[in-house]
Amino acid sequence: MKILFLDQSGKPGGAELCLIDIAKPYGDRALVGLFADGPFKDLLQQNNIPVEVLATQEIQVRKESSLLQGFKSLRQLAPLITKVVKKARKYDLIYANTQKALVVGALASFFSRRPLVYHLHDILSKEHFSQTNLRIAINLANRFASLVIANSEASKTAFLQAGGRRNIIEVIYNGFDPKTYQPDESDINKLQQQLELQGKFVVGHFSRLAPWKGQHILINALAKCPPEVTVILVGDALFGEQEYVQYLHQQVTQLGLENRVKFLGFRSDIPQLMSVCNLVAHTSTSPEPFGRVIVEGMLCGKPVVAVKAGGVMELVEHGLNGFLVTPGEPEELAQVIITCLQETEITATIANNARTTASLRFDVATINQQIAQLLSHRL
Ligand code: UDP
């Protein structure tokens, strides 16, 4: 099967990293068409996945902006659709991986008479999207998609509540290669020295810097923890959230935590960085559709604390394979950090359980088989 994947972003967020794993097995039978140039293109090339930047002008990718406004004008949309239609004729199906890819993919599917699959990586609710965007996404999916792949039950439920058709949607979790999350001991030690983290209790946060990812909650929690607790913030503002980055730096200074918080920016060595942590924290203040970092932390054999909302509830069982806290509650988060610091044996057992179950539940080979089966049955 030959697949034309479409993604609006030039930057590698969770949806884009997931796409790499899905497109890889198709080799030359796949093409990833991007609507923006950037480091995501380089990552695809490093993984030997054919890629082309299809849009000539940059398209606004802020989630809160209107989908159509994002394309600035229909004048911008028309050449892109023409290009995608031409490409699509050489492929068996169009696989839209983001919302703007859905807009272009739906129209291209109509004109090229190729089936459309929409991979839904979002919770389509008013908390995350404007009413107009929701309506456009649901109507296009209902009208044009043969299959919608939701990344969690939470994303599926929101799709149905917003009026999505039940008979087109299936849940498939993100897949991961467990081997990637077992880095060399020597690399871990080197990193620990470079970052001057020896003897510290390291809490890692791995997310783009954005208000709803809740890095400020972790910083507030840190202020309530003993001095050996240190935080590393891994990730950058991918979609222009510079004000929030400034806010975080001010917050760290105001709380006198300059020596206990490290901003590491966007990194590609996530398994190594997670391995230097004693705990991985996930602090989103709005429901997370899936939460790749949670599974990655588990695969690294690290205890994970995450918030009780959205897709996270399908990944973490409190006290069994991780810890759950109320979103936006630094006090509760601090309590869990202190428990992990003090109760090392129980915490290690929980982390080991998590590693075993995550390796089985989210194995990329099995997940890719499930997707291939769905594509062949539905299309
Ligand atoms: N990530 C990364 N480098 C960073 C920060 C994050 O590669 O500096 C990865 C992280 O490991 C995860 C993804 O970005 O695989 C984020 O996915 P998640 O589902 O947690 O959040 P999203 O970006 O989709 O909202």
CA angle 327, 330, 333 (to 5 degrees): 80
* pLDDT score of 61: 46
CB 148 within 8 A of CB 124: no
Q: Whose CA is nearest to atom 25 of ligand 1?
A: 14
Ligand 1 atom at minimal distance to the Cα of residue 15: 24
Ligand 1 atom at minimal distance to the Cα of residue 236: 8
CA angle 26, 374, 107 (to 5 degrees): 75
Task: Answer yes or no: do 17 and 155 share one domain.
Answer: yes
| Cα 116 from Cα 105, distance rounded (Å) | 7
Q: Whose CA is nearest to atom 7 of ligand 1?
A: 268
Ligand 1 atom at minimal distance to the Cα of residue 290: 19
The three-class DSSP label of residue 71 is coil
Task: Answer yes or no: do 223 and 285 share one domain.
Answer: yes
Task: Answer yes or no: do 263 and 299 share one domain.
Answer: yes
Q: Whose CA is nearest to atom 10 of ligand 1?
A: 293
Ligand 1 center–CA 274 separation, angstroms: 12
Task: Answer yes or no: do 74 and 63 share one domain.
Answer: yes
Place of tokens 């590693």: 355
What CATH number should be reported for the domain holding residue 263? 3.40.50.2000
Ligand 1 center–CA 359 separation, angstroms: 18
- Residue spans of the chain under pLDDT 50: 61
Task: Answer yes or no: do 279 and 324 share one domain.
Answer: yes
Ligand 1 center–CA 235 separation, angstroms: 8
Q: Whose CA is nearest to atom 21 of ligand 1?
A: 14
Find the residues whose C-beta lies inside 6 A of ligand 1: 13-15, 17, 206-208, 234-235, 266-267, 270, 290-293, 296
Structure tokens, 306: 């995450």
Task: Answer yes or no: do 229 and 104 share one domain.
Answer: no
Q: Which domain holds residue 321?
A: 178-361
Taking only the tens place, the pLDDT of each residue in 160-209 is 999 999 999 999 999 999 999 999 999 999 999 999 999 999 999 999 99
| Cα 231 from Cα 352, distance rounded (Å) | 22
Ligand 1 atom at minimal distance to the Cα of residue 234: 8
- Closest-CA residue to 104 (of 137, 150, 57): 137
The three-class DSSP label of residue 122 is coil
Mutate which of 206, 209, 274 for ligand 1 pocket (most atoms within 8 A of beta carbon): 206
Ligand 1 atom at minimal distance to the Cα of residue 289: 19
Mutate which of 270, 273, 304, 312 for ligand 1 pocket (most atoms within 8 A of beta carbon): 270
CA angle 317, 321, 325 (to 5 degrees): 55
Terminal C-alpha separation, the chain: 11
Taking only the tens place, the pLDDT of each residue in 294-351 is 999 999 999 999 999 999 999 999 999 999 999 999 999 999 999 999 999 999 999 9
Task: Answer yes or no: do 314 and 339 share one domain.
Answer: yes
Ligand 1 atom at minimal distance to the Cα of residue 121: 24
Model confidence, pTM: 0.95
Q: Whose CA is nearest to atom 5 of ligand 1?
A: 235
Task: Answer yes or no: do 194 and 338 share one domain.
Answer: yes
- Closest-CA residue to 277 (of 365, 218, 360): 218
Task: Answer yes or no: do 106 and 162 share one domain.
Answer: yes
Task: Answer yes or no: do 76 and 101 share one domain.
Answer: yes
Ligand 1 center–CA 13 separation, angstroms: 6
| Cα 12 from Cα 211, distance rounded (Å) | 18
Ligand 1 center–CA 234 separation, angstroms: 9
Task: Answer yes or no: do 159 and 57 share one domain.
Answer: yes
Rg (CA), the chain: 21
Task: Answer yes or no: do 345 and 258 share one domain.
Answer: yes
Ligand 1 center–CA 352 separation, angstroms: 22
| Cα 57 from Cα 242, distance rounded (Å) | 23
* pLDDT score of 66: 63
Ligand 1 center–CA 121 separation, angstroms: 13
AA letter at 238:
L
Count up the domains in the chain and report the number: 2
* pLDDT score of 56: 73
Ligand 1 center–CA 125 separation, angstroms: 21
Ligand 1 center–CA 351 separation, angstroms: 20
